[in-house]
């Protein structure tokens, strides 16, 4: 049996039914709920709500594969699963365009003060000089992480007159007429915009820290649609307070469970949402209708179920 704990497109469940595969659609399961059922599972389809750790994997005596809807495998102990001969696949190709489009939208909204001015108009404030924006054309955009979403973001930017600098610790040889392969120091020195498109790993945890922000030379706009803990919230606030950056757009936060915040988290969150040059959205960059279908389709293809 296949246990599905992630929201998926009907295409996925319809395909499983057509193939004669039994499944349990249980998106309300928590960790303990899955732990109690996973012994009977030959496959599980998950998102980020439940950690698939060693304890869970040890209980999953019949498990053959783990399918992650979307990108990022930090909630799955992939190394241990593979020791147990459990196949682990994800579907970042499915929502890469959605994330790239959303990142571009965030950037344009920041630079042209769209969200800020719209909120002011809703308060009957008609402020034109105060909302004079900037053009993206002619700027230098730094992309950190040149995988599915980073490369797609670069493609969208190609229609603008921008210089694109891209850095990826694990890739090389991807530079072309559109993208200049760069190191992190070059991005810190030249970029007017820096966008993070990296998975959360030991290497990328708090990649956006105080030392990083203090190296920035152009007061760039910062975008993060990858994982919240790629940027240290307190250090981002330091950068904003000391005008080391021109603004920030975050689709992800270190802790996205707002009701669980302790006092420091509440204080930091309240500071960020009060800033006119900060946009925060609820982790929806890759959540388009089209991406929901494509992620399910890619996952089934990788699992050789289609």
Catalytic residue among 181, 234, 283, 301: 283
Tokens of 140: 């230098």
User: How far apart (Å, rounded) are the C-alpha atoms in residues 140 and 161?
Assistant: 9
Please report where in the chains the tokens 């439940």 appear, as a residue.
Answer: 50
The C-alpha torsion from 51 through 54 and 56 to 59, rounded to 10°, is: 170
Catalytic residue among 83, 256, 270, 290: 256
Residue 183 exposure: Cα atoms within 13 Å on the Cβ side? 1
DSSP H helices in the chain: 10-18, 31-37, 54-59, 78-83, 96-111, 114-122, 148-157, 184-190, 210-214, 233-241, 263-274, 289-302
Tokens of 305: 């179920």
- At a CB cut-off of 8 Å and minimum separation 6, what does 230 contact? 196, 198, 200, 204, 205, 206, 207, 208, 224, 252
Backbone dihedral region for residue 181 (phi beyond 0: left; psi -120 to 50: alpha; all else: beta)? beta
Residue 20: CB atoms within 10 Å: 6
| Residue 18 annotated in active site | no
Cβ atoms of 117 and 97 within 8 Å: the answer is no
| Residue 227 annotated in active site | yes
Catalytic residue among 227, 254, 257, 290: 227
- At a CB cut-off of 8 Å and minimum separation 6, what does 73 contact? 88, 90, 199
Burial 104-125 (b: 16+ CB within 10 A, else e): bebbbbbbbbbbbbeebeeeee
Q: Active-site residues: which are they?
A: 227, 256, 283
């Amino acid at each position: 049996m296949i246990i599905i704990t992630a929201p998926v497109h009907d295409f996925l469940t319809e395909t499983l039914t057509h193939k004669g595969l039994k499944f349990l659609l249980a998106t309300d399961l928590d960790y303990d709920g899955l732990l109690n059922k996973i012994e009977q599972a030959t496959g599980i389809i998950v998102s980020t709500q439940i950690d698939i750790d060693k304890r869970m994997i040890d209980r999953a005596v019949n498990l053959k594969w783990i399918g992650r809807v979307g990108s990022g495998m930090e909630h799955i102990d992939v190394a241990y699963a593979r020791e147990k001969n459990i196949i682990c696949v994800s579907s970042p190709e499915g929502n890469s365009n959605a994330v790239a489009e959303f990142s571009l939208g965030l950037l344009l909204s920041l630079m042209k003060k769209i969200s800020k001015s719209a909120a002011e108009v809703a308060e009957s404030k008609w402020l034109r000089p105060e909302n004079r924006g900037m053009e993206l054309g002619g700027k230098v955009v730094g992309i950190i992480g040149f995988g599915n979403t980073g490369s797609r973001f670069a493609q969208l930017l190609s229609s603008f007159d921008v210089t694109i600098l891209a850095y990826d610790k694990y890739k090389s040889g991807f530079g072309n007429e559109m993208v200049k392969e760069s190191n992190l120091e070059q991005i810190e020195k030249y970029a007017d915009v820096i966008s993070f498109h990296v998975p959360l790993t030991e290497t990328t945890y708090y990649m956006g820290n105080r030392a990083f922000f203090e190296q920035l030379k152009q007061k760039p706009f910062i975008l993060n649609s990858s994982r919240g803990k790629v940027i240290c919230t307190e250090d981002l606030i330091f950068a904003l307070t000391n005008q080391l950056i021109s603004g920030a757009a975050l689709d992800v936060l270190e802790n996205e469970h707002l009701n669980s915040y302790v006092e420091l988290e509440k204080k930091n969150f309240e500071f960020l949402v009060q800033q006119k040059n900060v946009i925060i959205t609820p982790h929806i960059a890759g959540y388009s209708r089209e991406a929901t279908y494509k992620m399910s389709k890619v996952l089934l293809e990788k699992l050789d179920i289609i």
